[in-house]
Structure 1
Amino acid sequence: MTGRENMIWVDREAKKIKERNLPLEWVDDMKTPSGRIHVGSLRGVIVHDLIYKALKQIGVNTKFSYVFNDMDPMDGLPTYLDKNKWEKYMGFPLYKIPSPEKGFKSFADYYAQEFIEVFNSLNCHPQIIWSSNLYKSGKMNSLIKLFLDQAEKVREIYKKVAKTEKAKNWFPYNPICEKCSKIGTTNVYKWDGEYVYYRCEYHMVEWANGCGYEGKVKPINENGKLPWKLDWPAHWKVIGVTVESSGKDHMSKGGSYDMAVHFCKEILKIEPPDAMGGYEWFTIGGKKMSSSKGIGSSAKEVSQILPPDIFRFMQVRTPIKTHLDFNPYGETIPNLFDDYDRLMNSYFLKIENKLPKEKAGEVQANFARIIELSEVSPLPKVRILLLRFRTIVNLLNNSKDVFEFFKNQKGNPLSLVEKNLVEERIKYAKIYIKNYETRQENKTVDFIPNDLQKKFLQTLAKSLKKLKTETKEDIKHAVFSAIKENNIKPKEAFTAFYQTLIGKPFGPKAIDLILQLGLNKVKNIIDI
């Protein structure tokens, strides 16, 4: 496979980036740790991790970092924090607000460390960069001065690109107020080449009140920061970022990225990073995430619903331009496991050198590639029994021995890898059953089989009664013989089968379901 059209999305993007032939491709992502970081932000981390790894695998010199913008002000109070205790910090830089729990340097550090733990568990290990450290170290000083010296040009870009008119005495810098310590309420109205002159405004923003103090300060180190739309490209230049994508809300015409591109080219004199056109949102049940408002679910909470490799798989298989919505209720999770297992089979074909030829082989190779990029723990080097999640759920719901079932299915004792997989899937099946399984969903309460479906079920019941052994092959033969004998379409037959047995139009493999419920029980139910 040499053509881009035969690659999955991440490999196509990596190949395109490689063609630039830069001495170093620095991949980066950023987030403001203003509260529990929500699961939607994991899409950015995984997208950038995938690009970094794909570049590395094709011989590109590359680095991967993650910036926490902890100099940003607290501009929204998380709903899960006590307003009486925390409202006084609105407008403070996040790195100067105390941590909600002991053992952390700051508010920002507390929520950032929780997020780091989550994305590390998904096999993402970027270099962590703290924005406050870049400012403290003086690395941002020359760029702050550059933007202040060219304030008129900055105002022109705001007007031209964002259609925002800035006053002639507006300057692109937010000092930390020397009296009240807020950064979100200060407004610079004069720059003399050495000092900025500012007011801490009472009503500049809706989410915080300034103290009215007026003063002057040198715009260096941690005395303040650049506004976000200049802060972002300044980070790119200081770090050396060459690849950074973003959610589509930042990628619109006149948006943050568009502004940053103009600042890069017209003032910083650098090429902006390749944003790959931006990426679509990752939502939960259709809701976009917000860290401070508590909308959706936190990255930590959602990451506990699925095993890390399945969660990562969900992200890897979804192209960067495709909106990913995850609704954990109903059949979503069992279907996701089924999809993973199906692609795992392609991976096994690849390591066994059994991929089919031509187009079919290309498709299977892409499936195998998705599995390889979804790796968290080392992938097995030999084929193992794929222990179906949906089957485990049904076994647990019917109080059956899961290990014994799969041992009988295999015909041999389970290997250590298979036993560990069963244990992991039992753990997540119990979470699914307790919180997300909706057994009545899609159930037809008054399902009445038609005459042909009745004949099929009766034929199957008779065939099952005649069985002398309960092997999978014998049961399979009985099922498909009943379909053939009654000349019924398989879909119509299986709909009647599942509706009669479990009240839904679909379910685990018919043979597995019969074994799970027990032959005698099935015979009695379907003999209508």
Structure 2
Amino acid sequence: MARGASGDPTDWVTRAADDAIRHAQQRHGEDLAGHVITCASGASPSGPIHLGNLREFITPHFVAEEIRRRGIAVRHLHSWDDFDRFRKVPAGVDPSWSEHIGRPLSAVPDPWECHESWAEHFKAPLRAALAEMGVEMEEVSQTEHYRAGTYTEQVLHAIRHRDVIEEVLAKHRTKKAEPLSQRAGAENEQEAEALEDSVADEDDAPTGSGDLARFPYKPYCRQCGRDTVEITAYDDATTDLSYTCTSCGFSGVTNVAT
């Protein structure tokens, strides 16, 4: 623990650990016995993990280790955003994999045929590398959480307040910026492209037309598994959502609440 003459921390790890402990004490009281502080990270397993991505894992690891060193219960919780859509076919992969664009990363086959899915193919080597570095973390799969209905209430809340959400977003929405991979100062093309894949694109195609154009929820098509759907109707009373898939032509109804 590095601190200056005044007692203030001089390094970011100590400062972050101090902040985390202070927030936990404000919530649970001075004595944290029986409570666990969570240091969280998250990443989309859309491609190879490089040095730039590694920072996402190492930062909470260092903070968690400092908290643990002080005798306080802590965990490093990592969220795999493996329910993100497969956006594009990278160089070196059979072009036929374009068939899977729009499907969850966890539902896209591994083109190298060594893992059960695209997502697992890129999770595995990272797990091995982190283990060699002594990084321990609890992993959660967003695919599992979404399919289990973990976020159903939050999704319904967003839908109920969609007009308010849209008002806020409209105040801050700007035109599409220059691609990160083309900006001056980008460290390398691979890192820039990975970052672009990990953030939301506000200029993605509308979810529907009229009042449904900015609907805050879009299902994966029940027929083909892609997210290339246009929402055609929503019933606030029943939470029935009607959609048509622009890829396979399927039209169906899904109930958001169930």
TM range, normalised to the smaller chain? Answer: 0.7 to 0.9
Q: CA RMSD in A?
A: 2.4
Indicate if the aligned counterparts of 1:191 and 1:197 stay in contact, CA closer than 8 A: yes
Percent identity, please: 20
Q: Alignment partner for residue 76 of structure 1, among 67, 88, 100?
A: 88
Superposed counterparts of 1:87-486, under 5 Å: 87-163=98-174, 168-169=211-212, 170-183=214-227, 185-193=228-236, 194-201=239-246, 210-219=247-256
The one-letter code sitting in structure 2 at the alignment partner of 1:192 is D
Which of structure 1's runs of 4+ aligned residues deviate more than 3 A? Answer: 1-7, 161-167
Alignment of 1:48 with 2:60, yes or no, is yes
Inter-partner Cα distance in structure 1 for 2:44 and 2:211: 30
- Gaps (5+ residues) in structure 1? 202-209, 222-528
Q: Which residue is 1:38 aligned to?
A: 50
The one-letter code sitting in structure 2 at the alignment partner of 1:180 is C
1:281-332 superposed Cα distances (whole Å, 9 cap, x missing partner): xxxxxxxxxxxxxxxxxxxxxxxxxxxxxxxxxxxxxxxxxxxxxxxxxxxx
The one-letter code sitting in structure 1 at the alignment partner of 2:70 is I
Secondary structure, aligned partner of 1:72: coil
- Gaps (5+ residues) in structure 2? 29-35, 175-201
How far apart are 1:122 and its partner, in Å?
Answer: 1.6
How far apart are 1:113 and its partner, in Å?
Answer: 1.3
Alignment of 1:15 with 2:15, yes or no, is no
TM-score by length of 2: 0.73
The one-letter code sitting in structure 2 at the alignment partner of 1:42 is L
Inter-partner Cα distance in structure 1 for 2:251 and 2:244: 4
The one-letter code sitting in structure 2 at the alignment partner of 1:216 is V
Structure 1 residues 189, 54: CA separation in 2 closer, same or farther (over 3 Å shift)? Answer: farther
1:229-271 superposed Cα distances (whole Å, 9 cap, x missing partner): xxxxxxxxxxxxxxxxxxxxxxxxxxxxxxxxxxxxxxxxxxx
More strand by share: 2
1:435-479 superposed Cα distances (whole Å, 9 cap, x missing partner): xxxxxxxxxxxxxxxxxxxxxxxxxxxxxxxxxxxxxxxxxxxxx
Indicate if the aligned counterparts of 2:220 and 2:226 stay in contact, CA closer than 8 A: yes
Inter-partner Cα distance in structure 1 for 2:55 and 2:12: 14
Indicate if the aligned counterparts of 2:88 and 2:98 stay in contact, CA closer than 8 A: no
Inter-partner Cα distance in structure 1 for 2:43 and 2:11: 27
Inter-partner Cα distance in structure 1 for 2:154 and 2:135: 30
TM-score by length of 1: 0.37
Structure 1 residues 199, 52: CA separation in 2 closer, same or farther (over 3 Å shift)? Answer: same
Inter-partner Cα distance in structure 2 for 1:43 and 1:126: 14
